[in-house]
Amino acid sequence: MSVYQINYDLRKQKDYSSLIERIKSYGTWCHPLESVWIIVTNQTAPQVRDYLTTVMDRDDGILVTRLQGEAAWYGLSNEVSQWIQSNL
């Protein structure tokens, strides 16, 4: 299993609901910041990107980055902090 951070920028129409539904469909996810999600999946980064872009507009942007081992954060809830510690 791999852990990926998903960052996105929905520009014109901003249809968050379809994208959020797709992200949550991975089952193991965390939403630490406004436009940032972290998921656990067997998929590759390009597979995650391709799955999510089917509900995005052509002018939107997305970045899927694999996370490994080390992380640091500030100002996140205890629940989010525990999720990151458990899954990273």
18-61 pLDDT per residue, tens: 899 999 999 999 999 988 999 999 999 999 999 999 998 888 89
Question: What does the block give as tokens for 5?
Answer: 């951070």
Residue 69 has pLDDT above 90, yes or no: no
Q: What is the largest CA-CA distance in the chain?
A: 36
Q: What is the pLDDT of residue 16?
A: 80
Residues 6+ away with beta carbon under 8 Å from 13: 57
Sheet holding 29-33: strands in order across?
29-33, 36-41, 2-9, 61-67
Domains plus CATH for the chain? Answer: 2-87 (3.30.70.240)
> The pTM is what?
0.89
Tell me the pLDDT of the chain averaged across its residues: 92
Q: What is the pLDDT of residue 41?
A: 97
Q: What is the pLDDT of residue 2?
A: 95
